[in-house]
Structure 1
């Protein structure tokens, strides 16, 4: 007959199978139905077909009807065969974007950090300072995750701490208290990771993608330091607020200081007392990369992706300073993330070149709008968060909205760089529901239910809307964007 877990798995697989069939049928229906949609001067055939391909790809991704990598590779073929672009090179144009190589390098940097004890050592230092109770301990974990996520991918930053949290939860004797604390920690972890991703362009591939689309559509850019001035204050305000909201709503169970200190002592014994040569080397390389990233604001020659690839190569030097092997590196790479980013950039390029961006701008954005930077940024932030609900794939949303957002900004007198910054910053905070990759990592641990997350995250997103509406225009004026 099988266990209850096996029966549940069979039922869930059956539900997933039905959803996948519906997804394939819906995608086929969309691709076939686009030929029935009339075209016009403002909505030419390439724009119509690009819209159909975009919707079909989103349906396939959300329903998981086919493996993610296959959907992404297939999208390039769709762009070509449906004549969304004039050439096969245009259909694969996203795969030549430097953003993809930044993604590849970021996985290597994350792997290098896991090879040494830098992150664990930093966490334990904060735990000794804040570890008097579970609420302060949760803030320490959120703070370290946020800071780590400012220089490596959100996924990797969250992944580092999941096993640590699960091990710490074993200190609870009561299943109810363990579950309550797990829910608080596992919801706050991806939130902190995604908040940290706002802080620098290197904190998330989404930031690099947004800037690259701005450059392609306008020739303008957002220097590294400017993005930091936009994102760091928002993150500094959002993180303690997120912690306070999660603590108040989910109320992690108290644990005696004796047990917390026992955990700290156990973790301390697992690593060398002093920093090893390799730990110091990894920190030195990361600091050097950060310095070059910042200098890129004044020296365009120091392109972010190129600097990151060069820094990655330093972890493979022969001898005592070798941090990892090529096999270690290739195991750390997410091929799905690579092809997802490549396909979304390709679709974004077609949205711009086909004329679809102009049509979408007229549909999504009002024809008349107050010429107020605060109201304009606020409207954009609300729209982005609302669209993340049906389209919880942040790269797809950025690729779809970049050109229309730029057009809307031009109409209301808002600098395009500020509009694209709002797009990237909000897309980083895709956690209203645990559907994005980062919150899915903790959701699959079974620590909380689907609709537990919005009890806290909706308030965090509203705070980001308010903060971004006020901060981006103010900093934009100081930096000379107006």
Structure 2
């Protein structure tokens, strides 16, 4: 009975989404609204916005899986003649960002399957000792460092079992133990914070790189992103730790295990086997190629997008005699739904931009932002997107909608698109308030040690503080590299 009610409710949501789209598509926009400054809402732009409204309703209600909604949106854009189906599909599925995303997921899967991720985590734990405050900091640090290079969801999935095993050994009570709440929330938030550090860390990051290249002709290298992302991530680390301790001060100062026992457990791990050595070698090679790609561009006389290094290195795993972990072993770890959502998101975002709808929306909603100081601009963008994260239950969905609007707004104001797109991109994956905003939160939540309310009350405070930190970091670095 309950299942049938859910089915009926979801059917109603789909019908409602379609009705809203059709109504918006066919209403007459007054001339005074259709022409705002240099921005004009064309019929194609109005149709693109109508399809976006259809997708928004389904994304917010989750009546359909996120990625299926994205595919439906592509079909509707073509059916209602925003552009030809071939052009719409090519703008997303023909984008090299899909290769980047697949490569990062392969790398993440090997780090997990080989046991390298667990070894790194155990090493950090052996250094933090048995003081609960520093164990929480250790988990945050592991999350931040690892999620700069592999997807933050994979890092949370790696840390959660380690944290849960500590809590089970200490026999803490789920939902009642502050240490349990603090440690599991640290598994989520450390991964989220580190995800902004590089383009590989979170779904919105490669989306932003793709949009900037396709819409504004701006090539953002791995190093270009890191200049903004890594300082922002590390500046957030200690405030995140402080807020966790403020809201969930552990009821115990130390674990029952001594510092020496934790060190002994790490030292008792078997030596790195062949799989771990191969994985760490390819991981380091990937990071080096990402960071030094600009040097190779000059040497080879060609453009090297961020997808190319990871395409080469992830393929190395499958060369004869390299790894015993085969494709069939890691295939279940590849998030195909995530890949579909990213590429369909690029298609929808490109159509929103190409039809002129993004420019019109940006002028209507934020047209006056150009008259304020650049720091206030960044602060406003970061805060608005942080609040939108409460509504949109997907980081990729948030980026799909917001980043094309930010690029169009920057162009209409005569500002460097990076000035608007970077704050938007870095904020799109910072989901501290709602558990449902990202699977990175859902994974530690599933262990059962904290409630939705627990994360929300601490998350609101962290969101306000992170808004100020991110805005300040971007503005200071932006001034240094002459974006502002």
Q: Same fold (TM over 0.5)?
A: yes
For 1:262 and 1:17, the matched residues in 2 are separated by 55
Question: Does residue 474 of the first structure (1) align with residue 472 of the second (2)?
Answer: no
User: Displacement of 1:149 after TM fit?
Assistant: 0.3
Q: 1:151 to 1:215 in 2, by over 3 A?
A: same
For 1:444 and 1:16, the matched residues in 2 are separated by 22
For 2:140 and 2:97, the matched residues in 1 are separated by 27
User: Match for residue 328 of structure 1?
Assistant: 329
Contact 2:18 2:54 in 1 (8 A): yes
User: Displacement of 1:153 after TM fit?
Assistant: 0.6
Question: Does residue 443 of the first structure (1) align with residue 445 of the second (2)?
Answer: yes
Deviations 1:222-277 (A, max 9, x none): 232221121111111101111110111022332644336597378548731x2223
Q: 1:266 to 1:60 in 2, by over 3 A?
A: farther
For 1:191 and 1:285, the matched residues in 2 are separated by 27
User: Match for residue 395 of structure 1?
Assistant: 396
Instruction: Tell me the secondary structure at the aligned position of residue 130 of structure 2.
Output: coil
Contact 1:201 1:227 in 2 (8 A): yes
Match of 1:142 among 124, 132, 140: 140
For normalisation by structure 2, the TM-score amounts to 0.90
For 1:55 and 1:344, the matched residues in 2 are separated by 14
Contact 1:21 1:65 in 2 (8 A): yes
Question: Does residue 284 of the first structure (1) align with residue 281 of the second (2)?
Answer: yes
Match of 2:184 among 186, 198, 215: 186
Structure 1 unaligned regions, length at least 5: 1-9
Match of 1:96 among 91, 94, 97: 94
For 1:346 and 1:228, the matched residues in 2 are separated by 26
Q: 1:337 to 1:245 in 2, by over 3 A?
A: same
For 1:467 and 1:370, the matched residues in 2 are separated by 22
User: Displacement of 1:360 after TM fit?
Assistant: 0.6
Deviations 1:447-473 (A, max 9, x none): 322222122222222222212322223
User: Match for residue 357 of structure 2?
Assistant: 356
For 1:451 and 1:341, the matched residues in 2 are separated by 30
Contact 2:175 2:181 in 1 (8 A): no
Deviations 1:301-347 (A, max 9, x none): 3321111111111112222x315211023221111101111111000
User: Displacement of 1:352 after TM fit?
Assistant: 0.7
Q: Counterparts in 2 of 1:160-309, with a 5 A limit?
A: 160-175=158-173, 179-254=177-252, 256-259=254-257, 264=262, 268=266, 271-272=269-270, 274-300=271-297, 301-309=303-311
Instruction: Tell me the secondary structure at the aligned position of residue 49 of structure 2.
Output: helix
For 2:175 and 2:420, the matched residues in 1 are separated by 44
Q: Counterparts in 2 of 1:62-77, with a 5 A limit?
A: 62-77=60-75
Contact 2:130 2:262 in 1 (8 A): no
Instruction: Tell me the secondary structure at the aligned position of residue 367 of structure 2.
Output: coil
Question: Does residue 32 of the first structure (1) align with residue 17 of the second (2)?
Answer: no
User: Match for residue 115 of structure 2?
Assistant: 117
For 1:337 and 1:368, the matched residues in 2 are separated by 33
Q: Counterparts in 2 of 1:305-324, with a 5 A limit?
A: 305-319=307-321, 321-324=322-325
Superposition RMSD on alpha carbons, in Å? Answer: 2.4
Contact 2:121 2:142 in 1 (8 A): yes
Q: 1:260 to 1:210 in 2, by over 3 A?
A: farther
Contact 1:178 1:253 in 2 (8 A): no
Q: Counterparts in 2 of 1:403-442, with a 5 A limit?
A: 403-410=404-411, 412=413, 414-435=415-436, 436-442=438-444
Contact 1:199 1:231 in 2 (8 A): yes
User: Displacement of 1:379 after TM fit?
Assistant: 1.2
Deviations 1:126-181 (A, max 9, x none): 21221222221111111111111000111111111112222221123352686433
User: Displacement of 1:119 after TM fit?
Assistant: 2.1
For normalisation by structure 1, the TM-score amounts to 0.90
For 2:142 and 2:353, the matched residues in 1 are separated by 39
Moved more, 66-75 or 142-151: 66-75
Moved more, 165-174 or 259-268: 259-268
Match of 1:461 among 451, 460, 463: 463
User: Match for residue 131 of structure 1?
Assistant: 129
